[in-house]
Amino acid sequence: MVGGGQLARMTHQAGISLGVRFRLLSEAADSAAAQVVSDVTVGDVDDLDTLRAFAEGCDVVTFDHEQVPTRHLRVLEAQGYVVRPGPAALEHAQDKILMRERLSADGVPVPTWAPVATLAELEEFAEEHGWPVVLKTARGGYDGKGVHVVDSLDQASGVLASSRATGVRLLAEQHVPYTRELAALVARSPSGQAVAYPVVETLQIRGVCREVVAPAPGLSAEHAALAQQVALEVAGVLGVVGLMAVEMFETVGGVLVNELAMRPHNSGHWTIDGSVTSQFEQHLRAVLDYPLGSPAALAPHTVMVNVLGGDLPDLHGGFRHVLARDPGLHVHVYGKQVRAGRKVGHVTVTGADLGDLLERGRHAAAYLRGDVDE
């Protein structure tokens, strides 16, 4: 796996059961994943020679994040290395304009959008679809970075100028009057087998995922089926191999695809403790072309709450308290230096009483962060 973040860390954890010999290419010797993996190469994941040396001896190369240059991955593929998901799929997770073009062409529901390079183009878009407009950089955005909700040309001018300066293209999107955000997690193997997890509700604050409820409370059977169908269709159309999370807006009339992630995803962390087969094991099964596991939920409700860095220098001060308060709590710590706002862990609870689960999950995450003290 290329990239040493918490996704690689948890993928290795899952792979231990499958007997996977996990090799890691990590940016740093003490990354979240490198701390727990035996076979680690430290190197620049953007460098072709480093990637090739790493791929040598791997049955399959897969990824902790989507930022590895696809031009390198095309070279690796051409030279016979097995890369999953492949660059032809992955570039749709890297470039939002490419993704929107492709999904629009295939009739997948997406928010109304257009590429914009100038104030005149933005003005035209806004005249047709109204303010505010969501401006997004086509590449490089994550956790809310690269997304700007603008109410006027004045507000947009800085974003446009910065786009011209950096050469990163922009797209404009209609500000969708959505009721909530959903995520549909699917896995697809090279042989085309696919599974869909229960559709979840995600709560984002300033663009950062804060909590996930599985399955999405009160979701109609119609919208649930639609969301899964859309995600499976996207996976098939793009030829995705591995896990894919499709972030969606739920509207009165259905769902609209917002973002794609072609790897295990924050919206699927609940599956470790809440489903038969975790997204991490599922990703490994998919990229290794093993039969996929059941995505069924283990309990009526699962709540996952992210632990973000707060005022405390580490999490271990709060650790004993939250474990003592709640013997049913699952704590997942990523081994990362605590910094304000950084995702440093998550907690999960499963059960039948959603209100109780939300209280427990939120309290534990807030306590670990240092926001509450009892």
- Where do contacts with a second copy occur on this chain (CB under 8 A)? 9-10, 12-13, 16-19, 21-22, 34-38, 40, 195, 276-277, 285, 290-294, 296, 298-299, 315-316, 319-320, 323-324, 327-335, 345
Which tokens sit at 48?
Answer: 């072709």
Residue 338, CB-side half-sphere exposure with 13 Å CA sphere: 16
Which tokens sit at 328?
Answer: 């049913």
The distance of Cα 286 from the centroid of its chain, to the nearest Å, equals 17
Verify cis geometry, omega within 30 degrees of 0, for the bond prior to 300: no
Altogether, the residues listed in the chain come to a count of 374
Amino acid at 49: D
Strands 343-351 and 330-333: antiparallel
Helix segments in the chain, DSSP class H: 6-18, 48-55, 70-78, 87-94, 96-105, 119-129, 153-166, 221-238, 271-274, 279-287, 316-325, 354-369
Instruction: With beta carbons less than 8 A apart as the criterion, state whether 354 and 301 touch.
Output: yes
